[in-house]
Structure 1
Amino acid sequence: MEKAAAAKIKLKTRELWGYASGEGATSITMNGIGNFSMLFYTQILGISPELVGIALSIATVWDAVTDPLMGTISDRTYSRFGRRHPYMFIGGILLTLSFLAVWFVPESFEGEKVIFVYLLIVNIFVKTAFTLFIVPYTALGFEMCKTDNDRARLQGVRYAFNMVVNILTGGLAWVLFFPDQQAANGAVIDGTKIHQNYLNMGGVLAASSLLLTLFCIFATYKYAERGLKKNEAEGMAEHVKAFMHDLKDVYSDKLVWFVFGFFGIAQFSMMVVSQVQMFTYVEYMRFTAAEKTFVHTGGMVGFMLGSLLLGTMVRRLDKKLTGYIAMVASSFGCLALLVIFTGGLMDPQAQIGSFPVAVAVFGLMQMLWWGGCGIIVPLAASMIADLSMVKRIKTGEITEGRYAAGFSFFLKAASAIGLLITGYVLKGVGYVSDAEFQTPETIDKLALMTFIIGPIVMLISYLVLRKYPITHEFLNRLRRQHGLEEEPQTL
């Protein structure tokens, strides 16, 4: 009987991947900006790294601040197309258009201050469109799942697909969009220092993002709550009260702060490492375009595999222990790179015969770091989905939008801080924008920061996760207390 009940509510694999296609659309745009905008604006347009970091972080703070508002709007929307899908459609289209503007900077815009203002304004548009899409999209995922195992499965597949797309459009971008070229004097020009390459990338990725957005809306439309009737008595005052109520409701939930704290700190470490590692590829390891592809793609594969493992790990170990294992794996990968390369055990260009052993070792250890991160990100999202379910059991309210917005807020706030800190990290190690070469001291410091920041911050995140109380048994006990059937455990 229990197996039959589980089968009825367990999401099918095609439904998981149909939903995940929306994450692919945002992966293209947000990872595209995260992977290459710092390089583009420093190496091509000559903006100082701290100014780029400030512009990106301000836009991300704006993004985070608008999330709670979007959560309230989505939860309380009455539309014949449902609560979530109209915003996903509008946000997806605007995200595509604003992403194009990141790379296609008008030629008449010259000077560091002018380009800084342009970068700031365009990224605010990008982040606004992202909020329009991602908050209702995340809430839709919460609503689709009926068990805590399915919440872990869906979030795992979601973030795995994020990395599949990131492999195709980010990892392979080094050879697809940024091949090295040869100058007239025979010197090799790194592909990331050629302006046209960024324009080619921007056009292709924008079109791909739009197609995935439209497919996601089509694939998930059957879950839309269509035909909702608007309460005509609700005016502006009621909407403001609802917004304030939703803010208080989420942020007064003590359990939420365990997840926000754990994930916010971990996300900060991922953001800093992801940004600084790009410069380590170019300056410290001196990878070729093919080697950058191998290493960068390896990290994405690691993230994808970690995400796909999440459902199995949660079913067998529960969520807290799963998080511990992920943190240990990630930290080991970075610390191993620290010992091997900055510790002098291996030269960054080491080879055995013609085999680039340094590239292989770097790729393997970085894959371990990102594999752990691939578990942590969807794990945190599934934890917030659990808390939304707890609130619904206790009150009967529709809370998925506001909890999704809260999670998105902390993700973006941590990212904003990470981007801001990255700019100052680059400045602190002595990185010079638009310079043909960096000093050896600067290059060594770049590598050191890439290898040590992640493990240090992960340790702090671990101390927060220790306090998280939600387990399978906790949820079933809560259901029994409210006269509900226990969650059948999906197989």
Structure 2
Amino acid sequence: MAEPRPHLTQATKLLYGFGSVAFGAKDNAFSYFLLFYYTQVLGLSPGLGGLALFLALVFDAISDPLVGYVSDRWRSRWGRRHPFMYFSALPVAIGFFFLWNPPAALSEQGLFVYLLSLAILVRTLITLYEIPSSALGPELSGDYDQRTSLFGYRYLFGWWGGLSMAALMYGWLLQSTAEYPNGQLNPGGYHTYGIVAAVVMCLAILISARGTHAYIPYLRRPEAPKPFDARRIVREIRETLSNRSYLMLFVAGLFFAVAVGVSASLNLYFNTYFWELQPRQIFGIVLMQFFSALIALIASRRVSERWDKRQSALGLMVAGILFGPLPVVLRLLQLFPGNESPYLLPILMAHGMIEVAIVVAVSIILTSMVADLVETIEITTGRREEGLLLATRTFSQKVVAGAGTFIAGLVLTAIRFPADAQPGEVDPGTVAQLGLAAAPLVSGFFFIGFLFVRGYSVSREDHERNLTTLAGRAREP
């Protein structure tokens, strides 16, 4: 047993959340820029680019639960989580740098292999940080509402980290030149991006790990190690992951993440070709989304305090399904301002701020719901497995840049979207097909996720009852 936990200070919450800047920078890169960079700038076909990122995701299906399982049982003087967090910092930065700086003159096959290899490496290394770090949340606090606040800070800094990198790209790095009139197609910006983001990721991980280091003596200590037994390991994982509420959230998280992933991967295509925005205009939209994360932090805590987490998540998901595709649908119906209208950018900025706030708030609450299953499953199995359980949330987030990107690549291939296309020169029918394909696809994935969230059954009362039961067991001789 660990010693009684000290009071969780505001500084600790901030330092705990700050580490997610690393995941946010990586996630933003994979979701918004990586497919575009390798296809439109480097010349890889969209189908192969999407396939490479999807195969990297398949590798995550193994590495994520494995890291969670090992972390839950790791014994060291730095506890179960911090050794992985410290170790990941420098290697993930090096891998991220090389991802954006491939060797010159690679063939399309060579470029595919390079992207696949570096994507797997970066994903695996960020897993070594993100899963143990996420697992600290339920250990730092068992309070129903405090957990929502903790994960709220993770998402706040995760989004701010990603948005800061996006703002850097659109505001400074993707500069138009005589050779590249459209800044989004300038390869130099992506090379510099790889350097800056790598340094930011390394520092964020180290600062967060050091900022929570003092809590190591108060965290749960694992049981004495058992001899290796593959069948026992498989049986324990199956027992842990067979909880019905867990399975409902896992599947819901996958569909929710794929919806966000398709939207994110096609975002730059929409901004560049559908709305015909310049980098500075996109920069304005990105700036508004800094407010989105802050709104989500406040809103997720307040709605889940007033209503049950399940009901809060369902209500917000309905809002996202209805509100998210509105601009595209209205444009297709010719009920939206044209690309030359002075009202277009302000409307898109306001819409983007609200849409992202909904997405982030849903993500915060769903992750907090997973954390509340730690005690539910511990009562059944007798094992404390935050890492294994929260691996599903990290895995779901990675689906954003994996399956979502793969599907986005298929959409672009299906509508025969041209490579190296200049804004305003793409056939209007192809641009309309982009909207016709993306809007129902994204809303459909959101709706399927909504249906599965309805199967979650742990309420505030259930959680308090679980804490009381486990406290009683701890007092038993």
Question: Is the TM-score greater than 0.5?
Answer: yes
Q: Distance in 2 between matches of 1:139 and 1:227?
A: 11
Alpha-carbon offset, residue 346 of structure 1: 2.6
1:217-256 map, 5 Å: 217-225=209-217, 234-235=226-227, 237-238=228-229, 240-241=230-231, 243-256=233-246
Q: Distance in 1 between matches of 2:294 and 2:199?
A: 23
Normalised TM-score (structure 1):
0.89
- Output the amino acid matched with 2:462: F
Match among 125, 130, 137 for residue 129 of structure 1: 125
Alpha-carbon offset, residue 396 of structure 1: 4.2
- Output the amino acid matched with 1:306: A
Q: Distance in 2 between matches of 1:453 and 1:199?
A: 32
Match among 303, 307, 314 for residue 324 of structure 1: 314
Quickly say closer, same or farther: Cα 1:27–1:476, change in 2 above 3 A.
same
1:474 corresponding residue in structure 2 = 462
Quickly say closer, same or farther: Cα 1:438–1:150, change in 2 above 3 A.
same
Q: Distance in 1 between matches of 2:239 and 2:384?
A: 12
Match among 196, 201, 205 for residue 204 of structure 1: 196
- Output the amino acid matched with 2:355: W
- Output the amino acid matched with 1:192: Q
Quickly say closer, same or farther: Cα 1:231–1:460, change in 2 above 3 A.
closer
Q: Distance in 1 between matches of 2:13 and 2:64?
A: 24
Structure 1 unmatched runs, 5+: 1-7, 486-491
Normalised TM-score (structure 2):
0.91
Quickly say closer, same or farther: Cα 1:450–1:180, change in 2 above 3 A.
farther
Alpha-carbon offset, residue 449 of structure 1: 3.4
Q: Root-mean-square deviation (CA), in Å?
A: 2.4
1:106 corresponding residue in structure 2 = 103
1:73-472 map, 5 Å: 73-107=70-104, 109-183=105-179, 189-225=181-217, 234-235=226-227, 237-238=228-229, 240-241=230-231, 243-351=233-341, 356-413=342-399, 415-436=401-422, 437-472=425-460
Quickly say closer, same or farther: Cα 1:315–1:115, change in 2 above 3 A.
same
Q: Distance in 2 between matches of 1:359 and 1:365?
A: 10
* Contact preservation (8 Å) 1:75, 1:399: yes
- Output the amino acid matched with 2:393: F
* Structure 2 SS opposite 1:83: coil
Quickly say closer, same or farther: Cα 1:222–1:342, change in 2 above 3 A.
same
Structure 2 unmatched runs, 5+: none
Q: Determine if the alignment matches structure 1 residue 20 to structure 2 residue 6.
A: no
Q: Distance in 1 between matches of 2:224 and 2:449?
A: 46
Match among 45, 51, 54 for residue 48 of structure 2: 51
Q: Distance in 2 between matches of 1:328 and 1:10?
A: 36
Question: CA-to-partner distance for each residue in 1:419-457, whole Å, 9 max, x for gaps?
Answer: 211110111122122234432222122233343332222
* Contact preservation (8 Å) 2:138, 2:147: yes
2:69 corresponding residue in structure 1 = 72
Q: Distance in 2 between matches of 1:76 and 1:232?
A: 9
- Output the amino acid matched with 2:126: F
Quickly say closer, same or farther: Cα 1:329–1:294, change in 2 above 3 A.
farther
Provide the aligned length of Structure 1 versus Structure 2: 467
